[in-house]
Chains A and B, each alone.
Chain A
């Protein structure tokens, strides 16, 4: 097989644990782990930025931080969470799990994979070096024109923002290409497309979203660089440039990006919920098809971020209708998760708790999303805390909960040790309660008119109380996150030994040792005759392929 020869010349690691062996690695597992560690570090930083903002907003007319520093925190928090936490978080799990799940020895292009990782790390460092340089970006994660034009932002802040996002994005596109080729060509014999684990399915679709959604942003950033450094006029109103062009290109990326963040989380749920319900996933085909439908629709709805820019009613109505349509495939997924749990023998591990939490919070966030897709409502609440409440519900209640679930699920495979379930429960409940306290009130502060992206507010009736609750909630979230970080640090050395298959799971990554050897599988793979090959080998009497077609 030609594909085997392609991988063979990759340099083998000689020493297992030296720092250099991690720096020089091209092993998808180590790269995945480093992606996740990087995402965790930036999560802590961006979380601290959010805490500072909540401290400032805890009381009306607060003086904790200066207005300009607030703008910097607002920008760095949003940018980091999207480009340096969410995206590398899902890419980290994809890197680690997808080759194992499909029975491959590594990614298709291991060196390219290492390049992606280091672009992410150095891009993130460059972004944060702006703090030391006194040039922290302050134009928002969306960096709308013409605020980013040279006349409005003459220093290097916008340039840090452009390069700090552009560099990791190049790595993200490279990883997506890598994943597509890996999933198409490096599946083990018998692992047909219709037997792919759903996480791999959703990473495949996410990868297509990545390679087709990032280019408009890259092009827009290139234009902005031309404007700023070569005196171009793309977004210069005085020379006839159109700032709205930036919004179109940015959201042509920005909307698919939110599905790039959520689809892999759906994928993690599609692995974790069946294992802890002791049942196969309900509606596999519908899950895969719904993912494709969501990805397709996500390219058509960027305009719903621009309802307030003055397009005509028919155009806005089309964008709104298409946006509402996304609720259908998303609803299919939620119903399938519930149907998978229904009648199952549920095991309430921390991973499962985060999945169940996800289903609840994501339905809430999804429904507030439907309200925002309705143009008249959007006109009322756009640029208020209602929007902030909504997207934190889907990005935290969705993506972050999914990433947490994935961490508790795959940590034993990565390290050979289990995370503490006791600390995990502290993590889950503190974080969930903090999350609800922080973001439920924001919907109300938004509805009574509090604008977002402003460093302070007057003591209008209701505003002070709701903001105080949000700030208290943020403290609970921080405590939960602290429990999570402490859990990881402690379990690395003191965690209970996991064994190869602690969850009695179904997919191929559990058929190898914990942690797996550099080339993934020492023993022959289980024969792949259904969607749960490892289950079939462990329970030959109840094997899936005896009872179903399994593709």
Chain B
């Protein structure tokens, strides 16, 4: 920036702290706030319609199996933090390994969701069946789509990391992607509680 030619004025402390934030991280943080409202809208629809066709519908869901896949997704939030920590320490091998584990855990969750969907479709439960099924497939489907997008991002990051481009000094992309990944996990905690645990 041309402006660099001028000495930095002593600004307010808050202002200085703000400017220290990485643009990628700040951008993703606000993107997440926007995404959150998208999910809030879908969740409102789910809650409003929840009472209808509920008794008939929830019996088809396998809470225990989904809980196990939920653990996989939640664990991936931990492993991505471990990956970041390793990169910060300068341990590139460790970072790459934890990143790979994160991708695998996310994939596991998606496979679990696929199994669940297949089971429902085999019983002829589709978005057309009733209002509950419409909201169920829409809400969990959009969450699954977000996990899928997250997996693409993490896979690209893994490739970049394997090429040696993520280092101790350059890991903010991982921080930003991690923020998004935590958000996707957080949404699932809400969705799982509402759809599976709320009887």
Contact = CB atoms under 8 A, between A and B. Distances in A.
B59 interface: no
B127 A230 contact: yes
A103 B18 contact: no
Nearest to A551: B12
B1 A104 contact: yes
Contact of A105 (B1, B27, B30): B1
B134 A214 contact: no
A177 B27 contact: yes
Contact of A177 (B3, B34, B134, B135): B34
Given A188-B1, A218-B38, A525-B3, A226 B127 contact: yes
B173 to A, nearest CB: 11
Contacts of A524: 2-3, 5-6
A458 interface: no
A109 interface: yes
Interface string A1-20: 11110100000000000000
A528 B7 CA distance: 11
A185 B1 contact: no
A522 interface: yes
A239 interface: yes
A354 to B, nearest CB: 32
Interface residues of B, number: 46
B113 interface: no
B23 A233 contact: no
A215 B52 contact: no
Interface string B17-61: 011011110110011011101101110110011001100000000
Given A103-B3, A212-B33, A233 B131 contact: yes
Given A109-B27, A232-B127, A249 B41 contact: yes
B155 interface: no
Given A215-B37, A216-B41, A232 B4 contact: no
B9 A240 contact: no
Interface in A235-249: 239-242, 245, 249
Contacts of B7: 189
A328 B119 CA distance: 57
Contacts of A286: none
Contacts of B35: 215
- Main secondary structure on chain B at its contact with chain A? helix
A180 B37 contact: no
Contact of A233 (B15, B18, B134): B134
Contacts of B45: 219, 223, 234, 245
B131 A239 contact: yes
Contact of B31 (A4, A177, A223, A234): A177
A422 B137 CA distance: 61
A78 interface: no
A520 B2 contact: yes
A109 B15 contact: no
Contacts of B26: 180-181, 184-185
A215 B34 contact: yes
B42 A232 contact: no
Which of B7, B8, B127 neighbours the largest number of chain A CB atoms within 10 Å of its CB? B127
Which of B11, B44, B45 neighbours the largest number of chain A CB atoms within 10 Å of its CB? B45
Contacts of B137: 226, 230, 232
Contact of B23 (A6, A187, A218): A6
B37 A212 contact: yes
Contacts of A220: 41
B131 A231 contact: no
Contacts of A277: none
Interface in A100-125: 103-105, 108-109
Contact of A231 (B2, B15, B53, B128): B128
A188 B142 contact: no
Nearest to B52: A240
Interface string A175-195: 001101100111111101100
A64 interface: no
A540 interface: no
B66 interface: no
Interface in A504-551: 519-525, 527-529
A190 B9 contact: yes
Given A177-B34, A192-B15, A214-B34, A240 B2 contact: no
B37 A231 contact: no
Interface in A261-292: none
Contacts of B140: none
10 contacts: A2-B22, A109-B27, A180-B26, A211-B33, A216-B37, A218-B38, A231-B127, A231-B128, A234-B45, A519-B2
Interface of B: 1-9, 11-12, 15, 18-19, 21-24, 26-27, 30-31, 33-35, 37-38, 40-42, 44-45, 48-49, 52-53, 126-128, 130-131, 134-135, 137-138, 142
Interface of A: 1-4, 6, 103-105, 108-109, 173, 177-178, 180-181, 184-190, 192-193, 211-212, 214-216, 218-220, 222-223, 226-227, 230-234, 239-242, 245, 249, 252, 519-525, 527-529
Closest 3 CB pairs of A and B: A219-B41, A231-B128, A188-B3
